[in-house]
Amino acid sequence: MPDNSIKSKCNWYDPIIFRILIPFLSLLIRLLYFSCRVVKLEGAQNEQKALDMSGGKVIYASWHQRLLYHVHRLAKRNVTVMISQSRDGEFAARLVNCLGLKDVRGSTTRGGMDALKELIKNMKKGANGGMVPDGPTGPPRIAMIGTIILARMTGAPIIPIAWGADRCWVMNSWDRFVIPKPFSRIAYYYGEPIFVQPSAKGPEMEEYRKLLEERLNYMTRWCDEVFGEERPWKKQEG
């Protein structure tokens, strides 16, 4: 449920969006993604390896640009994600709830530590974690340290995840958010898990952060290149 600070920023018509438009949008998203087909799956053994080695508790991590298809993919994996406390975050939280994920509210700019503590509690009760290392406002494809802190504090390995499609809509947003078009072909990649040592600090934490960033960027490029065409959002990448 939204806290008072979020309620104060909502418009009078937001309850209509929450109760009618978001369930309708979630239905459209389900129909869209059920029409898509994964034609290339890389690294499936990496997910199972991480689950086996950690006793079934992991942290999925993806760039903000590719978030929406992951929500569909992870819907049955008992994932709790961190979402910002902004008004846009309220829309996003209610949407991912409709699509099967749970949420805690906070980001690097507001309420982050409280949200991180709440996510840790959920993971101790058996949930998997979901993190967007460059969200909610970027810069795009630059990992922040929060995912590494969560992995150190929970002992759960990070599984980087990425996807690409042969046909996408590209949004005019800070991250060039992409949505696969109906009946798209999808390439999906589970990266090698990253295990953060509980004793890690300072320079070691920075090395883990760089590793996550490099791995996600490599995987994203790999998924895009499966279909052999230049993608308009690739111009944003360093």
Task: For residue 39, give the CATH number of its domain.
Answer: 3.40.1130
pLDDT given for residue 92 in this prediction: 85
Q: How many structural domains comprise the chain?
A: 1
Mean pLDDT of the chain: 87
Kindly report whether the peptide bond that precedes residue 136 is cis, defined as omega within 30 degrees of 0. yes
Give the range of the structural domain holding residue 66, as residue numbers without chain letter. 4-236
Residue 2 — pLDDT band, cuts 50, 70, 90? very low
Helices (H) and strands (E) in the chain, counts: 9, 9
pTM, two decimal places: 0.87
Buried b (16+ CB within 10 A) or exposed e, 50-71: bbeebeebbbbbbbbbbbbbbb
Q: Are 143 and 212 in contact (CB under 8 A)?
A: yes
Find, among 186, 125, 134, 184, the residue nearest to 156 by Cα. Answer: 125
Q: In terms of pLDDT, which residue wins out, 212 or 229?
A: 212
